[in-house]
Structure 1
């Protein structure tokens, strides 16, 4: 039931329409811009066959535990351990690998009754797709952000294709047009296409209120990729970007047929509003977990630099390293607490404590630029000025080896390797791209804060101040009336 890496690669040969650098790609798995990250995903599939701790068995066979809906705290800890194992094996942090997007389907299941009350035809599709993700083991991603167009204009005055829309119904299903930006779509099997961030209170938006599964090789789906960092330098000089660039694409849907069995809702703004409010209640966990791995990479690079250069014992260096550790441990504490105080969801899954998880996401994302700057300060300016590996191997290599050798323990090659890694992690074009991605991958920062506001229980602090300030007992009831009004 778990596919092999070879089976995953074969599945990409479905005639999908992918464009890179202005040209049609005929073999996604071998194209230089996509080959490294596709190989990483294939390795993830093969690793499941080598590592029993990544799997579980039921009456239908053996499956990836990363795809299974969580029912216990132990399930969440196993998922955490599984992501740790996969990323350590790959040797880098990869965000879009399936486990962090399948949780959006579990959120759909939690809203099954709400969606069924809006349109009962599609409720069964949710349960079936959750099960098929487990049994068929697809590489499942999600499509979120639309081009949107000129947002100073009302939705009905823009080019309607600027947001995904339903253009007609057929006996076979709905037909959609528009576009979405999506990470990993060119080498994924399917995507959960859902409404973008918005209020979804105007019925004029209803044609854009659609949620469905789209096969990435379906007729009419076109993947127009951005330039890849994998082709902009060798892995010797760009050890992260050349191996782990998860290529985004503008995915164009040119009259794409979505079979009825793949539709969850359409032409319902209330459904879109509900989904946007609950979408990340599970998927925020693996998303924040990736940022924990990124924090470890920054700490490791900064600490190795301190040891190489002999600055580890300086108090100022220790203090800055401690700041990075506080950032890292803050993320870990939120993840741990969200499991410890997890709650049963409407669908019967175990849902991480929402207030704690969303607060952890705000911490991880909002403080990431600060943490990166601290790491840059600790490593210093040599990350910006160190020559590439060809220079070390060339005619001038003798001089570079002289000035980059630190002592009998640290030779020039180890120094060059560490600085190349730190540059790619903190100061390269790839590093800037990843920083921007982290700020918007699930939602913009204001949406992160809105999730915290919606999930936090204000009644405790309100009652505390009511008692401490001597407010009348009636104010709590009056406050509820005021909120309702």
Structure 2
């Protein structure tokens, strides 16, 4: 059942060891680097309890309890429309884009439903664990995130040829569970409740068993965990000058596993490289939808910032400007078409769920990520050079500089200096700032690197259609068909 925002805050005050900027954090809910995102996640919980948003964010369970729409395993097209509406409601309410808040990473748990048969073939011991944790993640509604990437070390070497801790691995078994050592990079780890911890795609050679091939549910308050966070963007500069960086930075963390014991009941698969490979291959069949939906919202923000900038200077009627705006619109509608089509032509999954059309979903992800940098640059052109040279708010308020800035930044009675300053500051933070550069890199790699995006397309595209079309049109013999099989 859905918690309140305050109940969530209390759940992450568990004494975990967190460092940022060389400082150990006493309370993640109040520290300035983390508080903005803690507050947003708390807001998501609270939206499920408020009259105006309860029905968008939650649905009644079998016993009358309210469960989160975004966590519900999808079995119908209506479920996907509801999830899309819930995510849009959150992003509109907070006025920005956040990714690792639970609705994206929960899809990886649904993939385990589809993988139960494979996991049972390998070792049925863990099947009960999988079901229990899927139920808990979907219905108890913890803040659930994902742990994928290891430091890796020298990738030309196998794990046993270098420091073994470069990839998370089991060091021993106990009566209570497995003890693991290594590290993982996890966004939002410092202020979440649990993570589905998975193996990185690694060079296991021909081994059927490997101490590196494991997946488990990690309790973020477990003993032996240490959280070393990258420098945050919040608080570096006034919020008036960097309105996005101060509110929407999702702090990434190197999570150190210093001989952490994982109880047997939390282990989902262990040692079998076949299971690890299967899980990696199906990991994003659901979660890519929520991820790509964020790119759609980013496209809307870029269009809005660019269009307001050309409107305030009267350039929106120029054909060259309209062409650039139309290019941004094509990018936006391309993402929208892939998401809409992926729902409309959704496919039954091996585990009885309804997954978005895989070819459309993965090609939509490639479109959204591969063109994002070009669209950001196009939006920069439309916004103009003033987004990188405009003074800060303090200068607009200083008694000696204020008259000059009001003179040169006011256009008419509708566009006065303060509104122009706000617009230019917003566009700068969206497109030009350190935060904007970080966001671009994150979108490019957050669900695996570009080559893996294309590999997913290759695995899911229907190649038989074009082959059959050309075989018939060219009059090729059946021998060609037999050879292709």
- When the two structures are superposed, what TM-score results if normalisation uses the length of structure 1? 0.97
- Among residues 445, 466, 483, which one is paired with 1:461 in the alignment? 466
What count of residue pairs does the alignment treat as equivalent? 480
Q: Is the 8 A contact 2:106 2:138 kept in 1?
A: no
Q: CA deviation at 1:154?
A: 2.5
- Among residues 392, 397, 404, which one is paired with 1:393 in the alignment? 397
Hey, what's the Cα distance between the residues in 2 that align with 1:55 and 1:275? 29
Structure 2 partner of 1:26: 26
- Among residues 46, 57, 62, which one is paired with 2:60 in the alignment? 57
Q: CA deviation at 1:431?
A: 0.3
Q: Per the alignment, in what secondary structure is the counterpart of residue 474 of structure 1? A: helix
Q: Is the 8 A contact 2:71 2:139 kept in 1?
A: no
Distance 1:261 1:137, change over 3 A: same
Hey, what's the Cα distance between the residues in 2 that align with 1:198 and 1:205? 13
Q: CA deviation at 1:198?
A: 3.9
Hey, what's the Cα distance between the residues in 2 that align with 1:290 and 1:197? 25
- Among residues 448, 468, 471, which one is paired with 1:443 in the alignment? 448
The alignment's C-alpha RMSD in Å is 1.1
Q: Is the 8 A contact 2:142 2:194 kept in 1?
A: yes
Q: Per the alignment, in what secondary structure is the counterpart of residue 229 of structure 1? A: coil
Q: CA deviation at 1:231?
A: 2.1
> Where do 4+ consecutive residues of structure 1 move more than 2 Å?
152-155, 197-202
Structure 1 partner of 2:108: 104
Structure 1 partner of 2:433: 428
Hey, what's the Cα distance between the residues in 1 that align with 2:201 and 2:301? 31
Hey, what's the Cα distance between the residues in 1 that align with 2:226 and 2:115? 31
Structure 1 partner of 2:189: 185
Hey, what's the Cα distance between the residues in 2 that align with 1:425 and 1:222? 32
Tell me, yes or no, if structure 1 residue 363 matches structure 2 residue 367: yes
Tell me, yes or no, if structure 1 residue 285 matches structure 2 residue 314: no
Moved more, 172-181 or 463-472: 463-472
Moved more, 311-320 or 445-454: 311-320
Tell me, yes or no, if structure 1 residue 86 matches structure 2 residue 70: no
Q: Is the 8 A contact 1:156 1:204 kept in 2?
A: no
Q: Per the alignment, in what secondary structure is the counterpart of residue 231 of structure 1? A: coil
Q: Is the 8 A contact 2:179 2:259 kept in 1?
A: yes
Hey, what's the Cα distance between the residues in 2 that align with 1:205 and 1:415? 61
Q: Is the 8 A contact 1:166 1:266 kept in 2?
A: no
Hey, what's the Cα distance between the residues in 1 that align with 2:114 and 2:129? 13
Q: Cα deviation per residue 1:234-277 (whole Å; 9 max; x = unaligned)?
A: 21110001000000000011111111111111111111110111
- When the two structures are superposed, what TM-score results if normalisation uses the length of structure 2? 0.97
Q: Per the alignment, in what secondary structure is the counterpart of residue 316 of structure 2? A: coil
Q: Per the alignment, in what secondary structure is the counterpart of residue 208 of structure 1? A: strand
- Among residues 408, 416, 419, which one is paired with 1:411 in the alignment? 416
- Among residues 340, 343, 359, which one is paired with 1:339 in the alignment? 343
Q: CA deviation at 1:201?
A: 4.7
Hey, what's the Cα distance between the residues in 2 that align with 1:197 and 1:312? 48
Q: Cα deviation per residue 1:274-326 (whole Å; 9 max; x = unaligned)?
A: 01110000000000000100000000000111111111111111110000000
Tell me, yes or no, if structure 1 residue 402 matches structure 2 residue 407: yes
Q: Which runs of 5+ in 1 are unaligned?
A: 481-485
Q: Is the 8 A contact 2:196 2:215 kept in 1?
A: yes
Q: Per the alignment, in what secondary structure is the counterpart of residue 207 of structure 1? A: strand
Tell me, yes or no, if structure 1 residue 72 matches structure 2 residue 48: no
Q: Per the alignment, in what secondary structure is the counterpart of residue 265 of structure 1? A: strand
Structure 2 partner of 1:483: none
Q: Is the 8 A contact 2:369 2:443 kept in 1?
A: yes
Q: Is the 8 A contact 2:209 2:273 kept in 1?
A: yes
Q: Is the 8 A contact 1:197 1:443 kept in 2?
A: no
Structure 1 partner of 2:310: 306
Q: Cα deviation per residue 1:11-33 (whole Å; 9 max; x = unaligned)?
A: 01111111111121010001111
